[in-house]
Structure formats: structure tokens, C-alpha cells
Amino acid sequence: MKKTVSGMATRLAIIALALASLPAFASSDYPPAIWNSAASCNYSSRTAAISHVAIHTTQGSYASAISWFQNCAASVSAHYVIRSSDGQVTQMVTEANKAWHIGNSNGYTVGIEHEGYVNNPGVWYTSAMYNASSALTRDILASRGLAQKVYTGASGWNAVPADSLYNVKGHVNYAGQSHTDPGSGWDWPRYKTLVANGSGGGGGSTPTLTWPVVQSGNTGERVRTVQYLLQQWGYSLTVDGAFGNGTLTAVKNFQSSHGLGADGVVGNATWPALTILTQQGDSGAKVRAVQSQLRESGYAVTVDGIFGSGTYSAVRSFQSAKGLGVDGIVGDNTWSKFAW
């Protein structure tokens, strides 16, 4: 009997080793990620549509975060966990379900945990982590046709801007939270650039971009662009290409709401906050801004606010003519070429 039990134990050990050597399952939501489920007691069904992404810091190791989310004593979870050293991504809750990561904002958010500690960002917030996280966030937004409205940090690392202004924010930036992650060391401008797919493409944002100055008394296409973008941000004003009192007031209000100096002048500080990533399938005033600029540059597009195939083709042609990466996406690189 002892021999039989011993033989069975040996066989079980061999089977366990064989299973351990098998490749991890890939995530169905995000194929680059490894799937390693959180305990079912730590998440629930989602009833609201996903509209936002929440950036977290684990305040511990990658492995310990994964282990904790698999422990029912935790009563917490996140959709994804990212390793600092190499950017490895593990998914633990499907996006269709509600992870428990941000209290009253759980219902409409996807939570991404980043290995590390908020008080030591220089060690933990690596390039590999930023690159992996931004690619994941870009995929979450793009798969739902959501605009990339990444928090810039302009109002302060612990500010609580309205959800309508940004759909990618830190845990600390959502209303009613007690946590401070990802902390003051998270590089929001860098993250915004990376989410916009790097600096090379027309949909990207190069940190060294310069912008023209547009101010009270100016007229023309630049002013129309400012006015259309202000409309997209919810300001009520007429798009007439004339920078009058109504436009001046709207610009000052926009600057104030974004933590910028409210001088009414649209320059290097205001343009990047004002522009919104715009791509095929989008609609509204931001698309009219793109179309109006394209017409100014000689392209035969209709200013109808619908980013269809004609607008897409014209954007790609414009990007090629201006020496930009041709991706058909209007990010800061393309907006800057329009503005000049």
C-alpha cells in the first residue's frame, strides 16, 4: 500500500510539473496579456457601459497583487496588473465584469494596476511599464470607439477633474476616493503621448511641438478651429472665424477649468489641452474643425461633422504632404500642422 501511494504521489508530482510548464492562457479581451483569474468572490457583473480607465499603483509587488486578488479576504480586484521590470500584463477580471478597484466608479471603469510604490516612482515606473500600459489603455478606448481624453496633470497630480473632461485618470483623480495612487511621480504628459501611439504618427503628440498664438482680434481658420474645439468641449459659441468677446470668454473659462493661466490667449500651453484626438467614426464639432482645416488646405471635403472615408482619405493625404506618419488619425502632430 505504501508503495502504491508513493507511486501515485510521484505521478501527481510529474503531472503538476508538466502543467506548470504549459504556456499561460492568453486574455480574450487583450491577447498580449496573460489570463490569471481573480477569485470570483472579488468581482461582480457589470451593468453600465465602460467609458473610463483608472490608473492604479499596487503598493506592493506584481506577484503579491495577483495573489491578493485571488484571496476572498481581499474583497478587491482589478482588470489588469502590469509588471514593472518588463511590462508583462496579466488580466484577472474580464472587461465585461466589474472589478472592485475604485468604489463608486467601479461600474463604468476598467482598472489597471501598476507594480510599485507611489513614493518611489523613479524605480518602479519604468519605460517598459509605461509602454505596456499605454498600449493597453489605447486598446480599451479604441475597441469601444472612445476618444482619447487622457488626464494631462495640468490641474495637479491629485486634482479631481470632472469625468466629462478626461476618461483616463488616476485613482486619486476620481471623485470620492481616499487613495493617492498613482501619485505625484506618474508622468501624465508622457502617458498621454504614448496612448496616442507615440510621437511618430499623425495621431501622436511630439513633446517639442510649438503652436501659433491665437488671441482677441484675430480672424481666420485658426480661430474657427479654436471655436469648433471649444464647442466640442461643451462651450456655446458661434463659429465665425472672428475672435470676439464670446470666444475670449469661452477660452478663459476653458483655461481656468484646466488649471491654465486664464489670459484668453491660445498658445503653447492651451492648444495641447484644447485639441482632442479625432479619427474615423467620430462625429461632432471636433470633426468639423478637421474638415474645415482640410478645406482650407484645398481638400474637397464636406464640413458635416462626420469622420467618414472621405475625411479619412483627406487626412492621410494631408499627413503625407506634411511629412507626418500616415495613420489617418488627427492627434497633436496633425492638429499642429493644421494650426500653422
Taking only the tens place, the pLDDT of each residue in 198-207 is 544 565 555 5
Tell me what pLDDT residue 115 has.
97
Tell me what pLDDT residue 47 has.
94
- pTM, rounded to two decimals: 0.57
Tell me what pLDDT residue 231 has.
95
Taking 70 as the threshold, does the pLDDT of residue 314 lie above it? yes
* CA–CA separation, 243 and 213 (whole Å): 12
Tell me what pLDDT residue 194 has.
83
- 101 touches 111 (CB < 8 A): yes
* CA–CA separation, 164 and 320 (whole Å): 33
Mean pLDDT for 98-116 is 98
Tell me what pLDDT residue 101 has.
98
State the sign of the Cα–Cα–Cα–Cα dihedral 132, 134, 135, 141. Answer: positive
List the 168-170 sheet strands across, edge first: 34-35, 89-91, 80-82, 109-114, 52-57, 168-170
Residue type, 208: T
Q: Report residue 139's pLDDT band, with 50, 70 and 90 as the boundaries.
A: confident
pLDDT tens digits, 149-172: 999 898 999 999 999 999 999 999
Show the cell assigned to 311.
475625411
Tell me what pLDDT residue 201 has.
54
Tell me what pLDDT residue 205 has.
55
The values of phi and psi at residue 80, to 5°, are -135, 150
Report in angstroms the alpha-carbon separations of 334 from 101, 126, 131, 209, 329: 36, 28, 22, 11, 8
Mean pLDDT for 234-258 is 94
Q: Is the peptide bond before 207 cis (omega within 30 degrees of 0)?
A: no
Active site residue 296: no
To which residue does cell 481666420 refer?
220
Tell me what pLDDT residue 25 has.
66
Q: Is 164 exposed, middle or buried (0-12, 13-18, 19+ CB in 10 A)?
A: exposed
Worst-scoring range by mean pLDDT, 42-46, 61-65, 132-136, 223-227? 132-136
| Residues sharing a CB contact under 8 Å with residue 40, sequence separation 6 or more, in sequence order | none
The values of phi and psi at residue 184, to 5°, are -75, -15
To which residue does cell 472665424 refer?
241
| Residues sharing a CB contact under 8 Å with residue 187, sequence separation 6 or more, in sequence order | 125, 130
Average pLDDT, the chain: 88
pLDDT tens digits, 176-193: 999 999 999 999 988 988
Of 263 and 1, the one with more pLDDT: 263
Taking 70 as the threshold, does the pLDDT of residue 141 lie above it? yes
* Residue of 95, 113, 115, 296 with catalytic role: 113
Q: Report residue 197's pLDDT band, with 50, 70 and 90 as the boundaries.
A: low
* CA–CA separation, 6 and 10 (whole Å): 6
Enumerate the H helices of 53-154 as residue ranges.
Answer: 62-69, 121-124, 127-142
